[in-house]
């Protein structure tokens, strides 16, 4: 079955045909590093991590570029507030972002360029645009893109220029010829980072950086360009205008965007995530909260599983209580791997569930349907005591980068107030009480462990235990 993916540009699924056979060149917009990454970034980056992993599992050599925006109004303001340089601020949060993505199980990009390292390439594009009549210097000294001179403007967002002008995102600026024209180069202001240019000292606008970096690493036309839903307009629309305007070539063949993420507030209502609403979740905070619920070290696995279970193009609702189902589901899969350890044979793509897994992933990376095959394998592994089914479960899970931890460690997690030695000691005390026919004491020990989040299972080989959720009093 051929791989089909949905392109925002064509508004339909298309058979994926790379420019070069066996190779995929993909660019995903990264973050502006002035603060910690939030769970919306996590959702987008996990989605494209899985897309990349499936392409590689399908035999493609993938060049995956994800940029870092390290010059921006927000960065300048935050650096001033903290009395540090922009470089010091962006270094700190770039490292934090990389750590967060690795913790969430995302592969590092093939290359992760910083905007400030590509000023000459940006100036070259602006120069081309000016010579073609697509850019001009404003009275304020900025260089702006002349949107009405690019006949295809709006083709990604599907809006006409008149629709876009009436939109709330377009701010009035008397120095520009048209309110929709966007800034390519900002003239220097005192105390801000600045570079020399043919139009005077200044710094790049936001949109131009991605055109420069993607073309540098992937060529003037490449396969896939991706990002979050908020980037469709204006960022990606402007990238197309300036890249295709400068180079006279199609910029990217396929445009992929994730669905929006919203959060559930304390009243159980769905709303946009915002610091002003007090519902803002960084990746670090979400992992810490999830660790607290499901055991130290399990939080990142559970959060990744939660964020990937919804189809990448669909909206997703986040809330600490909503993650419980993801934990219980992951627990089911790990229980199967614990009960029936996998054999060491290679993944069998001819096996029924593996075939359906591949079909789902080839259908616009349909992870929810692919994950359903994992539960089928878990059921078969336990019902048939089949090490082959466990192997299929574990190796298909590896493609999504889940189920690769020790099952016993995941199921035990960490238990408040008791370490593993204390739990084993309590189990031994219970066994001794049962042997002495002191069943009341044995039941008391079991009940105490249950209250601490430890469930016991008696088997012919002895007593085993695992962590369970315990509702905490508020």
- Cβ contacts of 313 within 8 Å, gap of 6 or more: 6, 257, 258, 259, 364
pLDDT tens per residue across span 295-305 = 888 999 999 99
Return residue ranges of the chain for CATH 3.40.50.620: 4-257
Which segments are annotated as binding site for ATP? 275
- Spatial separation of the C-alpha atoms in residues 247 and 216, rounded to whole Å: 12
Write out the E strands in 111-221. 135-137, 143-145, 182-187, 202-204
- Reported pTM: 0.89
Place of tokens 């469930």: 455
Residue partners of 444: CB distance under 8 A and separation at least 6: none
Edge-to-edge order in the sheet of strand 202-204? 135-137, 143-145, 182-187, 202-204
Q: Which two tokens stand for residue 426?
A: 């309590």
pLDDT at residue 168, as a whole number: 43
- The separation between CA 450 and the C-alpha centre of its own chain, rounded to angstroms, equals 36
CA distances, 51 to each of 199, 246, 310 (Å): 41, 30, 14
- Strand residue runs (E) in 167-217: 182-187, 202-204
CA 121 – CA 345 distance, rounded (Å): 49
Give residue 167's pLDDT: 54
Backbone phi and psi for residue 280, each to the nearest 5 degrees, phi listed first: -85, 130
CA distances from 462 to 382, 456, 465 (A): 19, 10, 10
Contact between 309 and 400 (Cβ < 8 Å): no
Contact yes or no for 387/311 (Cβ under 8 A): no
Give start-end residues of each CATH 1.20.120.640 domain in the chain.
262-411
Predicted pLDDT of residue 474: 36
Residues of the chain with pLDDT under 70: 165-173, 414-419, 452, 467-474
Which pair of structure tokens corresponds to residue 186? 């900002």
Query: Which is nearest to 397 in space by CA: 336, 465, 446?
Result: 336
Q: Which residues of 306-345 are buried (b: 16+ CB within 10 A; e: fewer)?
A: bbbbbbbbeebebbeeebbebbebbbebbbbbbebebeee
Query: What would the two tokens of residue 72 be?
Result: 């921006």
Q: 386 is written with which tokens? A: 């089949």
What's the CA gap between 11 and 8, in Å, rounded?
5
What integer pLDDT is reported at residue 428 of this predicted model?
85
Which residues are annotated binding-site positions?
29, 210, 235, 239, 275
Q: Return the bridge partners of 415, or none.
A: 418
Give the pLDDT confidence of 57-85 residue by residue, as tens digits. 999 999 999 999 999 999 999 999 999 99
* Residue (of 202, 213, 63) closest to 125 by Cα position: 213
By CB atoms closer than 10 A (0-12, 13-18, 19+), residue 160 is: exposed
What topology is assigned to 4-257 in CATH?
Answer: Rossmann fold (3.40.50)
**What's the CATH number for 262-411?**
1.20.120.640
**pLDDT value of position 467:** 67
CB 156 within 8 A of CB 240: yes
- Binding site for Zn(2+), by residue number, is 29, 210, 235, 239
303, 38 contact by CB (below 8 A):
no
Helices (H), 309-436: 323-339, 352-362, 367-384, 387-399, 407-412, 420-435
CA distances 354 to 312, 389, 393, Å, are 21, 10, 9
State the CB neighbour count (10 A cutoff) for residue 134.
22
């Amino acid at each position: 079955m051929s791989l089909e993916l949905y392109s925002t540009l064509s508004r339909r699924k298309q058979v994926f045909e790379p420019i070069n056979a066996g190779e995929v060149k993909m660019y995903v917009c990264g973050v502006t590093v002035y603060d910690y990454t939030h769970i919306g970034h996590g959702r987008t980056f996990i989605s494209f991590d899985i897309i990349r992993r499936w392409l590689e599992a399908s035999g493609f050599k993938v060049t995956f570029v994800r940029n870092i925006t390290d010059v921006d109004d927000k960065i300048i303001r935050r650096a001033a507030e903290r009395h540090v340089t922009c470089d010091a601020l962006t270094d700190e949060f770039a490292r934090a972002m990389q750590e967060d993505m690795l913790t969430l199980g995302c592969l590092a990009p093939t290359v992760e360029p910083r905007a400030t390292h590509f000023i000459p390439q940006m100036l070259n594009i602006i120069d081309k645009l000016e010579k073609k009549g697509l850019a001009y210097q404003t009275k304020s000294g900025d260089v702006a893109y002349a949107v009405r001179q690019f006949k295809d403007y709006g083709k990604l967002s599907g809006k006409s220029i008149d629709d876009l002008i009436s939109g709330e995102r377009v701010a009035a600026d008397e120095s520009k010829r048209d309110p929709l024209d966007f800034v390519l180069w900002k003239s220097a202001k005192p105390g801000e980072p600045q570079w020399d240019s043919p139009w005077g000292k200044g710094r790049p606008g936001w949109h131009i950086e991605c055109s420069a970096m993607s073309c540098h690493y992937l060529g003037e036309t490449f396969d896939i360009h991706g990002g979050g839903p908020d980037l469709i307009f204006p960022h990606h629309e402007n990238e197309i205008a300036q890249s295709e305007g400068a180079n006279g070539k199609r910029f990217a063949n396929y445009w992929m965007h994730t669905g929006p993420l919203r959060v559930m507030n304390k009243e159980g209502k769905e709303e946009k995530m915002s610091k002003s609403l007090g519902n803002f979740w960084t990746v670090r905070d979400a992992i810490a909260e999830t660790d607290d619920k499901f055991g130290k070290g399990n939080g990142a696995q559970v959060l990744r599983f939660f964020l990937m279970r919804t189809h990448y193009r669909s909206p997703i609702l986040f809330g600490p209580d909503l993650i419980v189902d993801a934990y219980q589901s992951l627990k089911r899969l790990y229980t199967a791997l614990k009960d029936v350890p996998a054999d060491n044979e290679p993944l069998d793509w001819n096996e029924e569930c593996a075939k359906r897994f591949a079909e789902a992933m080839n259908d616009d990376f349909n992870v929810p349907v692919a994950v359903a095959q994992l539960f089928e394998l878990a059921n078969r592994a336990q019902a048939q005591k089949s090490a082959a089914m466990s192997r299929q479960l574990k190796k298909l899970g590896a493609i999504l980068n889940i189920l690769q931890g020790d099952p016993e460690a995941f199921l035990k997690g960490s238990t408040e107030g008791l370490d593993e030695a204390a739990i084993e000691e309590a189990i031994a005390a219970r066994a001794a009480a049962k042997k002495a026919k002191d069943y009341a004491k044995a039941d008391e020990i079991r009940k105490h462990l249950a209250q601490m989040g430890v469930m016991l299972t008696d088997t012919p080989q002895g007593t085993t235990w695992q962590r369970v959720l315990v509702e905490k009093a508020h």
